[in-house]
Amino acid sequence: MADRPDILLLFSDQHGRIAGCYGDPVVRTPHIDRLAAEGVTFDAAYCPSPICLPSRMSLLTGRMPHSQSCWTNTDVLSSGIPTYAHALGAAGYDAVLVGRLHSVGPDQTRGFRVRDVGDHSTNWVGGRAHDLGPLHRTNDPWRESLAASGPGGSAYEAHDHDVTDAAIARIREIGARRAKGDRTPFALTVGWLLPHAPYVCSPELYASYAGRVPPPRLSVPEDEHTHHTWWRHDRGIADATEEEVNRARTAYYGLVTALDAMVGRVLEALEAAGLAGNACAIYTSDHGDHIGERGLWWKQSFYEESAGVPLVVRWPGRAAAGERRREVVNLTDLTETLIAIAGAPALPGSEGRSLVPLLVTGGAPWLDETVSEYVNDGIPAWSGGRMVVSRMVRSGQWKLVYHHGHPAQLFDLEADPDELRDLAADPSHAGVLAALTARVLADWDPEDVIRRVERHKAEQAVLAAWARAVDPPEVLRWEMKPEQNWLAANAAPGGEG
């Protein structure tokens, strides 16, 4: 056995708390559930941002989006900011990444010694876009995402099969080296795209869930926030049909089970290589997905379905087994946890807190509070041209969502876990509203964020023009093929559903 614990971080994309271990009675996630049964499950874990790139960059560095000027899916994290991979490497760990990272710019390793497979999307601002063929625009917030859903196949899943195979190959290689006496501890991060839209899963999995996935439990609120009303209508999902909703939700459940099977294959390889007993194995995701709840889809909000993430940690001999934690935590806390487990150098500027005390015992001292940020610069075609500057604070039972230029939202998650009653305009909660608003603005200036985002937009315009003119080679990219994307005949728009 190695002298220090090995680390296996299993990191999916757009997976909310849809898993058996989080109480979903329909979905099949036996491998994630087993990890939970053998480890600690966090019930109130949040992402740093409910969108891919900023959440992922924050996990790398432990810094919130505003602290590193990474808010959108085209922002470039400075390569001068060290990541957990740098810190673990400095501590003597072999830090390897297989699969998704969503790093934009020439730095596609971010401190990992080596990276296999890569992303499906371009490395560059303004670079060559991927081609989803008949599933064009289904991966982004467009109506096509619901219209072209159901049984079929996507390049996203094909990518993830390659990621899984490559991760298993790495584990077998580590096991062979360990058998020969190599004591180097490993830190393997495995990044998948699933269950991110397209909402298309294999016909077999789709059939296994058909008629079993219930409709959304939460309807559009009577007092719906003005931003969400605008978003639903601008994105064309306000009039989503029952057939579309059913198809997309059924496919999402199939994608979660497909992902779980990949998680299982990697965990089985870890055991077969004799590495499981000394490895801290972690499963989480970068953000969630509404999948039709409240009339919303995708992410881009601070509702629990979008900002809440699964977080399960199994650490044999150290972490409690089969226990749950209600403490409010963030993926930036996971960053600090990796540092603590490895005994690695501290990351300057990290805003996270190590979860190790919570892993070891329930009731450990903990400040029950975290924040999350969502900023949209209005550039992507799917943004409707509207800039969004918002921030959430979860503090104990309370959640405040600050919408710059629009009314805030305030929820008591203890009395109202479904976030059905917005208390922001209730005079009896004025004190809570004022205190949490002050907390949001204490270290975050929305006007300054707007100025910095506007500067980013000007900088990115030059970078995009350069990429279009020069067509730089991709540093590391998994080549997506249009023919990998298809829909079964009866799932096509206008079909039988």
pLDDT digits (tens, 9 = 90+) for 99-150: 999 999 999 999 999 999 999 999 999 999 999 999 999 999 999 999 999 9
Please answer whether residues 444 and 391 qualify as being in contact, where contact means their C-beta atoms are separated by less than 8 angstroms.
yes
Dihedral angle sign, alpha carbons of residues 420, 425, 426, 429: positive
CB neighbour class for 482 (10 Å; exposed up to 12, middle 13-18, buried from 19): middle
Q: How confident is the model at residue 490 (pLDDT cuts 50, 70, 90)?
A: low
Please answer whether residues 7 and 21 qualify as being in contact, where contact means their C-beta atoms are separated by less than 8 angstroms.
no
Among candidate residues 481, 24, 48, the one with its CA nearest the CA of residue 284: 48
Residue-range domain boundaries for the chain:
6-361+474-491
Q: Which CATH class is domain 6-361+474-491?
A: alpha beta
Look up residue 323 and give its amino acid.
E
Please answer whether residues 110 and 119 qualify as being in contact, where contact means their C-beta atoms are separated by less than 8 angstroms.
no
- Count of positions (residues) in the chain: 497
- Reading the block at residue 49, the tokens are 């941002």
Please answer whether residues 426 and 407 qualify as being in contact, where contact means their C-beta atoms are separated by less than 8 angstroms.
no
The pLDDT of residue 494: 39
Q: How far apart are CA 235 and CA 376, in angstroms?
A: 15
pLDDT at 1 over 50: no
The pLDDT of residue 489: 76
Which H/E stretch holds residue 69? none
Query: How far is C-alpha 39 from the geometric centre of its chain's CA atoms?
Result: 21
Please answer whether residues 481 and 156 qualify as being in contact, where contact means their C-beta atoms are separated by less than 8 angstroms.
no
Over residues 75-95, the mean pLDDT reads: 98
Residues 6+ away with beta carbon under 8 Å from 7: 88, 93, 185, 186, 187, 188, 279, 280, 282, 338, 341, 342
The pLDDT of residue 496: 38
pLDDT > 70: what percent of the chain?
98
pLDDT at 227 over 60: yes
Over residues 149-173, the mean pLDDT reads: 98
Q: How many CB atoms lie within 10 A of CB 183?
A: 11
Dump pLDDT digits (tens) for 364-377. 999 999 999 999 99
The pLDDT of residue 491: 58
Pairing mode, if any, of strands 114-116 and 94-99?
parallel
Residue with the two structure tokens 């590193």: 68
Over residues 432-448, the mean pLDDT reads: 98
Residue 71's SS3 state is coil
Residues 6+ away with beta carbon under 8 Å from 9: 187, 188, 189, 190, 282, 284, 338
pLDDT at 2 over 60: no
Q: What mean pLDDT, rounded, does the chain reach?
A: 96
Q: How far apart are CA 38 and CA 169, in angstroms?
A: 25
The pLDDT of residue 495: 41
Dump pLDDT digits (tens) for 19-78. 999 999 999 999 999 999 999 999 999 999 999 999 999 999 999 999 999 999 999 999
Summarize the chain as % helix, strand, coil (round to 5). Answer: 40, 20, 45
Q: How far apart are CA 267 and CA 481, in angstroms?
A: 29
Q: How confident is the model at residue 203 (pLDDT cuts 50, 70, 90)?
A: very high
- Reading the block at residue 327, the tokens are 């403490």
Among candidate residues 53, 49, 11, the one with its CA nearest the CA of residue 380: 53
Cis peptide before 195 (omega within 30 of 0): yes
